[in-house]
Amino acid sequence: MRVDKVKLINFLSHDETTVTFKGDINVIIGHNGAGKSSIIDAINFALFKATRGKIDDMVKRGKASALVELELKMGNSLVKIQRSIPSRKELLFINDKLIARSAKEVNKKVEELGLDSRVVLTTMIVRQGEIENIFENLSDILKKVMMIDNLEKLTESNGRIRSIIMEYDAKIKASQDSEKRLKELREERDSKDKEILNLEQLIRKLDDELSALKQEESRLATEVNQLQEKAKIFHGLKTGLDRVERELSKLDQERKDLANIPQEIERLEKRQRKLKEIVEKKPDIIDLENAEKSLKDLNNRLKKLVQERDKIHADLKKKKELERFHIEYEKYKKNYDELKHIHEDFISTSRSLSDKRKSLNEIETKLRALPVTRKIDEIQKEIEEISQKINDLNTNMGAINSELDQIGKSMNALISAKEDKCPVCGGPLDELHKKQLLEQYNSREKELKERLKGLKEIQDSLQERMRRLNLELKNAQNNQSKAENYKEQISNLSREISELQEKVNRLQSLEEKYREASDKLKELDSSEREYLSLLGVNEEELDRREEEIATINHEIEEVSAKIQQLSSRLGGLTREDIGKAEKELRDLEWALSELIRKKGRVEQISERIESLLKQRDELRKEIEDLSFDQLELDRKRKDRDALRVQIETLQRDIGEKRGKLHEIIERRKQLESEITELTEKVKQVQDLSRAKERLEKLRRILSEGGLQSYLISTLKGRIENNLNDIMSMFNMSFARVILTFQESRSLSGKIDIQALDQNGQSLPIGMLSGGEKIAIALGLRLAIARSLMGSLGFMILDEPTIHLDSQRRAELLSVIQESMRVVPQIIVVTHDEEVLRIAEYVIRVEKVGGKSEVIEGVNQ
């Protein structure tokens, strides 16, 4: 058998990798962590579903599922295995024919093909640096591959066999109890049968008793019923009689209460007559009241009239007294009216007179206030004088100016004179003369200018004086015209005033007369007004009053007489008395009607009593005829009730007995089924005892180690033979290897490995060279595999050279090459380039960007 091809999808560090193993020695090479071991893991997984860690960790990180496909060549057949994580695809094909389609089926098929997982995983697939571990672990490995450890577990004191035996023991013991129990149950069943018989008899007897009692009870019940009917009638009659007697006694009482009604009626009627007499006088009282009222009215009217008459009398007297003043008033009034317009004239004239006087006064004050000035002609004279002076001055100044002019001309002529003739004097003109003349002119000019200046100053002052005088003149003229105006006004006013004064004087006497009249009228005003108010009062008015007074006095007399008459008729009876009588009469009449009604009731009562007495006699007779005996009824009832209690007790007793009977019958049924069941059980005990004996025997054999020691001794020979066969192919110096089991029955002791040389001398394994040790280790693995599986397919070595020195590395490589004679295919996983030396086919693995990649090729 060989591994042909393995395909990894999302498995560990691989995305999708296909590896083919084309050589006999295939070397998978690459750096640490490149993904080499992952390929071996894929093979293990495909074959046995074996993994280093948790199965889910085999899926590439970040992926949801993984798939591995393995192809094996077995003779001419091609075996293809597919497995996935999660476990969806578990298939096995042989020559493309689907043979197994579940994990269980695939596992079974793999085993059938000669690949025992325990053997392959412990011997044919060698993990990093573990080649020589086999020396220490040999007994464990053997135990594992032979499953002796399982056998041992089976026979341990708490092992599976022992626990089954104990189960059987418990069952057997329980069954033994059952036998005893079965006997008890049978006894109980017999006693129950007896009980049932007794109870049935008893119940029959009680039933007879019960029916006799029931008969008696029904006879008594009929009698009681008849008596009860009678009792009902009796009670009906009795209550009727009671009712009649009760009514009778009530009516009797009522009749007694009403006995004195007639006397009472008589008394009230007498009183009624008396009250009626009083009430009848009511109209007289009303008449009297009216008369009294009209008398009062008349008296009031009289009083008023007397008052009026007295007043008129007094007024007339007063009117006569005022007549004199009235005449006087009339006289003054006439004067007053006549003088009224003169008075008005006087007043207005006086007023204008005083106005004028006031004006005159004002103007005079103004006149006096005018400023005092010089006389106009005086000022004018001064102005004339000054103007004369100014004229003189001007003439003077004109003369001087013309002389100055002359001098100027003369000087010019002198200066511009060309001839030697003096223009002034006509004499010879020499320089000296010229000079003398000029000097004379100059001094004269100077003198004249001086004088002119003085004159000019005088002129200025005169002109100033002139200006002032003109101003003064103007003021004076102004004042004069004002004064003249005032004086004219004054004279006018004075004339008017004297005229007005004259008029006032003329009106004065009339005005005085007017004043007198006015004062007198004022004096007489109140008496005049009083007189006027009394103007309407006269003698006729007075007479009319006197007449009325007489009439009323007459009426008063009449009314008084009537009052007297009525009072005597009423005899001191008041309105109150009558009111009281009326009320009493009303109450009395009501009481009377009530009494009359009661009188009627008395007659009714008598009739009713008579009829009731008749009823009573009839009822008494009926009761006597009935002859009902209450005591008899009570007695019979008591007897009947006692009988009922007896029946009830008996019934309950029978019920209980029946219930008990039912219970016992049930129990008996149960017993019957239990008995059948137990009988069956008891029969099983014999079978169980036999089975237990067999198991104990088996356990004895196993724990004595018979089977193991047989297996071990057989296998030991086989392994030794195979080992020596393999070793002979390894070209070793020693002749033979011997395995010595110290504890051959259980493999619990050490296994000693000795090499024998050509001379039969033995060497312990520790004394051998490194290469020899590796060779024996590998040989031992192959020998075990061959011994258990028959033939060898492939061997996988993972990093076998690790921890080895170069000498031993070389020896290992040659041992591997030599192994090819025993195992058809070898796969070596390594990072050691030296291994390539023995490779026929190279598989290079590299990690590129988080995923493993593979390059395959034949080694050159």
Ligand X SMILES: Nc1ncnc2c1ncn2[C@@H]1O[C@H](COP(=O)(O)OP(=O)(O)OP(=O)(O)O)[C@@H](O)[C@H]1O
For ligand X, the closer CB: 12 or 92: 12
The four Cα atoms 702, 708, 714, 716 give a dihedral, to 10 degrees, of: -170
Residue 751 binding target from ligand X, Zn ion, none, CB below 5 to 8 Å by type = none
For ligand X, the closer CB: 11 or 730: 11
Residue 793 binding target from ligand X, Zn ion, none, CB below 5 to 8 Å by type = none
Residue 61 binding target from Zn ion, ligand X, none, CB below 5 to 8 Å by type = ligand X
Q: Distance between CA atoms of 403 and 397, rounded to whole angstroms?
A: 10
The four Cα atoms 800, 806, 811, 814 give a dihedral, to 10 degrees, of: 70
Is residue 123 within the footprint of ligand X (CB under 6 A)?
A: no
For Zn ion, the closer CB: 76 or 416: 416
Task: Kindly state the tokens that stand for 229.
Answer: 């009917």
Q: Distance between CA atoms of 53 and 763, rounded to whole angstroms?
A: 40
For ligand X, the closer CB: 41 or 315: 41
Q: Which residues are annotated as a binding site for Zn(2+)?
A: 422, 425
CB-based closest residue to Zn ion: 425
For Zn ion, the closer CB: 290 or 436: 436
Find the shortest distance in angstroms from Cβ 733 to ligand X: 34
For ligand X, the closer CB: 13 or 787: 13
Binders of ligand X among residues 205 to 234 (CB under 6 A) are none
For ligand X, the closer CB: 27 or 753: 27
Find the shortest distance in angstroms from Cβ 20 to ligand X: 18
For Zn ion, the closer CB: 270 or 418: 418
Is residue 155 within the footprint of ligand X (CB under 6 A)?
A: no
Is residue 236 within the footprint of Zn ion (CB under 5 A)?
A: no
Q: Which residues are annotated as a binding site for ATP?
A: 32-38, 128, 767-772
Find the shortest distance in angstroms from Cβ 50 to ligand X: 15
Sheet (strand 762-764) strand order: 736-741, 751-756, 762-764
Q: Distance between CA atoms of 70 and 79, rounded to whole angstroms?
A: 8
Binders of ligand X among residues 8 to 27 (CB under 6 A) are 12-13
Alpha helices in 370-430 (DSSP H): 376-416
Residue 425 phi/psi, 5-degree rounding, is: -105, -10
Q: Which of 427, 579, 850, 857 binds Zn ion (CB under 5 A)?
A: 427
Question: Which window, 324-332, 337-345, 414-422, 592-600, contacts Zn ion (CB under 5 A)?
Answer: 414-422
Residue 422 binding target from ligand X, Zn ion, none, CB below 5 to 8 Å by type = Zn ion
Q: Distance between CA atoms of 804 and 816, rounded to whole angstroms?
A: 15
Residue 425 binding target from ligand X, Zn ion, none, CB below 5 to 8 Å by type = Zn ion
For Zn ion, the closer CB: 50 or 424: 424
Q: Which residues contact 411 (CB under 8 A, 6 or more apart)?
A: 438, 441
Q: Distance between CA atoms of 647 and 747, rounded to whole angstroms?
A: 91
Q: Which of 314, 425, 471, 596 binds Zn ion (CB under 5 A)?
A: 425
Residue 703 binding target from ligand X, Zn ion, none, CB below 5 to 8 Å by type = none
Question: Which window, 54-62, 300-308, 464-472, 615-623, contacts ligand X (CB under 6 A)?
Answer: 54-62
Q: Distance between CA atoms of 260 and 325, rounded to whole angstroms?
A: 99
Q: Which residues contact 543 (CB under 8 A, 6 or more apart)?
A: none
Find the shortest distance in angstroms from Cβ 30 to ligand X: 5
Task: Kindly state the tokens that stand for 111.
Answer: 């085993």
Residue 14 binding target from ligand X, Zn ion, none, CB below 5 to 8 Å by type = none
Residue 771 binding target from ligand X, Zn ion, none, CB below 5 to 8 Å by type = none
Is residue 428 within the footprint of Zn ion (CB under 5 A)?
A: no
Of 529, 524, 530, nearest to 329 by C-alpha is: 524
> Under rule CB under 5 A, how many of the chain's residues touch Zn ion?
4
681: exposed, middle or buried (Cβ count in 10 Å: 0-12, 13-18, 19+) = middle
CA angle 403, 406, 409 (to 5 degrees): 155
Q: Which of 19, 25, 36, 106 binds ligand X (CB under 6 A)?
A: 36
Q: How far is CA 619 from the centre of its chain?
A: 86
Residue 83 binding target from Zn ion, ligand X, none, CB below 5 to 8 Å by type = none
Of 200, 206, 199, 202, nearest to 650 by C-alpha is: 206
Is residue 57 within the footprint of ligand X (CB under 6 A)?
A: yes
Q: Which of 54, 61, 194, 418 binds ligand X (CB under 6 A)?
A: 61
Residue 142 binding target from ligand X, Zn ion, none, CB below 5 to 8 Å by type = none
Is residue 801 within the footprint of ligand X (CB under 6 A)?
A: no
Find the shortest distance in angstroms from Cβ 845 to ligand X: 6
Q: Distance between CA atoms of 510 and 46, rounded to whole angstroms?
A: 177
Q: Are strands 841-848 and 825-830 parallel, antiparallel or unpaired?
A: unpaired
Task: Kindly state the tokens that stand for 698.
Answer: 């088996």
Find the shortest distance in angstroms from Cβ 771 to ligand X: 24
Asked whether the beta carbons of 17 and 34 are under 8 A apart, the reply is: no
Residue 427 binding target from ligand X, Zn ion, none, CB below 5 to 8 Å by type = Zn ion
For residue 285, how many C-alpha atoms fall within 13 Å in the half-sphere facing its CB? 14
Q: Which of 18, 33, 205, 435 binds ligand X (CB under 6 A)?
A: 33
Residue 831 binding target from Zn ion, ligand X, none, CB below 5 to 8 Å by type = ligand X
Q: Distance between CA atoms of 33 and 802, rounded to whole angstroms?
A: 15
Question: Which window, 30-38, 220-228, 394-402, 747-755, contacts ligand X (CB under 6 A)?
Answer: 30-38
Q: Which of 1, 7, 26, 38 binds ligand X (CB under 6 A)?
A: 38
For ligand X, the closer CB: 18 or 201: 18
Question: Which window, 57-65, 279-287, 463-471, 626-634, contacts ligand X (CB under 6 A)?
Answer: 57-65
> Under rule CB under 6 A, how many of the chain's residues touch ligand X?
15
For Zn ion, the closer CB: 335 or 410: 410
Sheet (strand 851-858) strand order: 125-126, 794-798, 825-830, 25-29, 841-848, 851-858
Residue 178 binding target from ligand X, Zn ion, none, CB below 5 to 8 Å by type = none
Asked whether the beta carbons of 217 and 644 are under 8 A apart, the reply is: yes
Task: Kindly state the tokens that stand for 771.
Answer: 């290469």
Q: In this structure, how many other beta carbons lie within 10 angstroms of the beta carbon of residue 542?
A: 17
Is residue 60 within the footprint of ligand X (CB under 6 A)?
A: yes
With tokens 């170069």, the residue in question is: 806
Question: Which window, 33-41, 511-519, 617-625, 709-717, contacts ligand X (CB under 6 A)?
Answer: 33-41
Q: Distance between CA atoms of 669 and 108, rounded to whole angstroms?
A: 55
Question: Which window, 53-61, 156-164, 367-375, 697-705, contacts ligand X (CB under 6 A)?
Answer: 53-61
The H or E element spanning position 813 is helix 806-819
Is residue 422 within the footprint of Zn ion (CB under 5 A)?
A: yes
Q: What is the DSSP string of 251-278?
A: HHHHHHHTTTHHHHHHHHHHHHHHHHHH
Q: Which residues are annotated as a binding site?
A: 32-38, 128, 422, 425, 767-772
Q: Which residues contact 390 (CB under 8 A, 6 or more apart)?
A: 459, 462, 463, 466
Crossing angle of the two packed helices 282-369 and 431-533, in degrees rounded to 10: 160
Is residue 35 within the footprint of ligand X (CB under 6 A)?
A: yes
Binders of ligand X among residues 828 to 857 (CB under 6 A) are 831
Of 156, 324, 818, 83, nearest to 148 by C-alpha is: 156
Residue 7 binding target from ligand X, Zn ion, none, CB below 5 to 8 Å by type = none
Find the shortest distance in angstroms from Cβ 718 to ligand X: 35
Tell me how long the chain is.
860
Asked whether the beta carbons of 35 and 850 are under 8 A apart, the reply is: no
Contact positions vs ligand X (CB under 6 A): 12-13, 30, 32-38, 57, 59-61, 831
Binding interface with Zn ion (CB under 5 A) = 422, 424-425, 427
